[in-house]
Structure 1
Amino acid sequence: MRPTLDEIFDEPDEFGLLDVKLRSGRAAAGTDKGLQVIGQVNAFVATHGRAPSVEAADHDEMRLAIIWAAIAKDPSAQVIEADMHGLLSPPTQPQPSWRDEPLAEAVPDSLDDIFDDDELDVDPSLITLRHTTAAVYRHQPDHRADFVPCRDFEQYRARFEQMQAMLEEGEREATPVKKWAVLEPLEGDFFIRNGLLALIAEKSEMTTRGGSRDHRLRVIFSNATESDPLMSSFRKSLNDDKTARMVQKVGLGPLDPDWEADQLEMTGTIYVARSRSDDPTISEQRMILHKIGVTSQDVQRRVADARNDPTFLLAPVEIVATYSLKNLPRRRVEQLLHKFFAAARPAELQVADRFGRKVHPKEWFYVLPEHVGQAAKLIGDGTLHQFYYDVSNQEIRRKADV
């Protein structure tokens, strides 16, 4: 029969195997070992300016930090005396934790309070805005393409009724506008936007807007309203409208005679504008330098956003003369006038847009308003080709008189 443990321990311990003396934690750490470790820690702090970290990527530093943490829990008097950097001195106040809720008075009320702090030494270059456009030069349109009543809607009513009938009878097809499609609307084109037929009644001169070339449109809707958005804005509105449609043209392509069946040959207005720019190079010749344009919409609405339009020299303008067109294509009339006065176009005229790029408007001429009126009358009579503009004498002369 085997003896039990109690019987075994009750037997005499003739070899002293059970005579075990427990050692204290301080003794376990070892005074000599503690002095050795504090020496290594002192050297580490002198080199790196900090105590070793248990989270260090370096294995030797991490090992030293673990050993030092064990000794620092119960250091001997010799270890405390050898502490050259006060690592074992109790902190004067507990270090705050990011987990603690901040005091109400410690939370700044504004950015000014932060930057006004005397203890905050910030390089001025870090809080100084650079490469930004001053507020006075930013694009701040005073004209919005709002919907307004179309005063001459009766001139277009028949076209809307005809197009609606053809769509219902299947003679015309309305196809969806593809997402992000780059459309180039022309005068006479029809679209469906927000459930309304939309007619492109006018596509004005090309201009530079926001660094890209663009056109101002006159869009008339079947509910007798109109708007004058930029072509890029109108294109975006079609892309944003999931129900938008484009009414297909008649014919097979630009070479087909029926392709231009929708083109408008409506009446309009020739206008002569004078710049109110403060630029000395422009203001000095204000009374002789004029812009010649043709529009089908209200002239004042056409020039409402002049100060943001490079076509108008990025400045407000005043209308000094207008001349009515009857049964003449606006675009063709504008081309004839610009070609007729081409010799009076200032070659040096240019303006810098808000991005600093040079823009050379082509619609400005050294002419008087009455010269434009005479040319408009000659266009109406069909005799403009018999005359030319004499720049040196500033008068319109018949070619036979040369």
Structure 2
Amino acid sequence: MSRPSLEDIFAENDEFGLLDVKPRAGRGGPAQDRGVAALLEVTAFYERHSRLPDPGAMDHDEMRLGAIWGTVKLAPTDQMRAADRLLLLSDSATPTSRSWQDEPVDASIPNSLDDIFADDDLDVDPSLVSLKHTTPAAERHVPDHRADFVPCQDFERFRERFETVQHGLEAGERQASPIRKWSVIEPIEGDFFIRNGLLAMIAEKSEMTARGGARDHRLRVIFSNGTESDPLMSSFRKSLNDDKTARMVQKIGLGPLDPEWENDQLELSGTIYVARSRSENPEIKGQRMILHKIGVTSQDVSRRVADARNDPTFLLAPVEIVATYSLQNLSRNKVENLLHRFFAGARPAKLFVTDRFGKKVRPKEWFYVLPEHVGQAAKLIEEGTLHRYLYDVDTQRIILKNEIT
């Protein structure tokens, strides 16, 4: 049996309609049909959004439709003009909305946040735009003075020391060793450094305090050009680390057991000061007249207390100096330690302040004493007879030890 040909197959009756195939409409249609289809799609878009599609839109479908419309409207056909019932092909047609890529119109840029929140279309809960748990800018940690360079009024007292150290460096008796990057430096009074080409001597290291949540000291640094500064110890460390030419001047001697090792230690005269707090804290304000800070400094007292409101040592409040007493040829550190031990029984047991990090700081330089008591004790130190006396907390008097019954 021979196989049927194609003609035979197509000649047979198509019982199931397999050969009844309709042509599919698609891209192969006439150009005017595609233009009309695009116009109809753009017309539907315009009725929904009241604007023409934007070829620069973030939405993909709108971007595609805008690009097609931008092409077909350049050469509209008669069929398109007949189907344009919204007159989108005319020059007066509503333009597309502004794209996010366009430069903003000056009139649309708000002048302030108030203009934004005043917009009627923006309904914002007031609680979302009101700041809470923040410190106003005027109350933030701003120092009352900076550690600037000022003339050292008593530089003549230190000139010989600078000349001795300079001679030792030139003669090779002392060495200046480089400071390693990020090394932790613990300067003490009498230490010498080279910073920015100048010899720098640590003339004073004040009481330990808490600054920025960390323990710190205030330094008095005197430079060989006759100026001085009073940075925090942490700031002084940073300045040394930032200076690639910074050096630490080594001490004379072989070590702490060598008698010459302590030659650089300072035996400075200074000023005993008695300070009264001006804090508005009710617990401190109520005992202001009997609670005093006893300190000793080698620098100007007003400069020492200039940043009191930011210093926990001063109860984070300004102070007023109520008395000062001069020291002559006496060690500042020894005098301060003697006074603090002498009045130790009058130190408040529960006195503390809370710093801005929420930490409790308990200053140890405040006592329930009167300024005249400090002056009397200072005179006894000068006379070398303080060891014969004691401070009676109950009677608030300085008495001879043999008077105790």
8 Å contact 1:138–1:354 — kept in the other structure? no
Q: How does 1:3-402 map to 2 (within 5 A)?
A: 24=30, 93-400=95-402, 401-402=404-405
Amino acid in the other structure paired with 2:209: T
Aligned partner of 1:263: which letter?
Q
Residue correspondences, number: 362
CA distance in 1, matches of 2:356, 2:231: 20
- Distance in 1, Cα, partners of 2:165 & 2:253: 15
Distance 2:322 2:354 in 1: 25
Letter in 1 for 2:284: I
The alpha-carbon distance between structure 1 residues 103 and 319, as it changes in their structure 2 partners (threshold 3 A), is: closer
Q: Give, as a single letter, the amino acid of the residue that structure 1 aligns with 2:231.
A: P
SS class of match (1:178) = coil
Shift of 1:226: 1.2
2: CA distance, partners of 1:154 / 1:302 = 21
Query: Which ranges in structure 1 are unaligned for 5 or more consecutive residues?
Result: 1-21, 43-54, 81-87
Q: Distance in 2 between matches of 1:385 and 1:23?
A: 116
- Structure 2 residue matching 1:262: 3-state secondary structure: coil
Deviates more, 1:374-383 or 1:121-130: 121-130
Aligned AA (1:387): Y
1:104 is displaced (CA, Å) by 2.7
Q: 1:115-151 CA deviation, whole Å, 9 max, x = no partner?
A: 2222223344443333421234311222222222212
* Residue type at the aligned position of 2:145: H
Shift of 1:101: 3.1
**Scaled by the length of structure 1, what TM-score is found?**
0.77
Aligned equivalents of 2:378 and 2:192: distance in 1? 30
Deviates more, 1:354-363 or 1:158-167: 354-363
**TM superposition shift of 1:212:** 1.4
1:114: Cα distance to partner? 2.3
Per-residue deviation, residues 187-239 of structure 1 (Å, max 9, x unmatched)? 00001112111110000011111211111111111111111111111112212
CA distance 1:105–1:383, shift in 2 (3 Å): same
Deviation string for 1:23-42 (max 9, x for gaps)? Answer: 64699x9xxxx9xxx9xxx9
User: In structure 2, what residue type is equivalent to 1:397?
Assistant: I
Amino acid aligned to 1:165: H
Structure 2 gaps of 5+ residues are: 1-27, 45-56
CA displacement at 1:305 relative to structure 2: 1.4
Instruction: Give the equivalent residue in structure 2 for 1:47.
Output: none
Distance 1:327 1:102 in 2: 74
Secondary structure (helix, strand or coil) at the match of 2:391 reads: strand
CA distance in 1, matches of 2:132, 2:249: 48
- List per-residue Cα deviations over 1:355-377 (Å, max 9, x = no partner): 23221111000011111122222
C-alpha contact 1:270 1:293 (8 A) present in aligned 2: yes
Note the C-alpha offset of 1:168: 0.4
| Change over 3 Å in CA distance of 1:129–1:251 after alignment to 2 | farther
- Deviation, 1:273, is 1.0
Letter in 1 for 2:216: D
Deviations 1:247-269 (A, max 9, x none): 01223333443322211011111
Letter in 2 for 1:380: E
Say which SS state the counterpart of residue 273 (structure 1) adopts.
Answer: strand
Q: Distance in 2 between matches of 1:195 and 1:155?
A: 22
SS at match of 1:205: coil
User: Distance between the aligned counterparts of 1:26 and 1:147, measured in 2?
Assistant: 85
Q: Note if contact 1:349-1:360 (Cα within 8 Å) is conserved in structure 2.
A: yes
Considering only aligned residues, what root-mean-square deviation do their CA atoms show, in Å? 3.9
- Give the Cα separation in 2 of the matches to 1:193 and 1:233: 13
In 2: Cα distance, 1:248 partner to 1:96 partner: 72
Partner amino acid for 2:307? D
Length-normalised TM-score, structure 2: 0.76
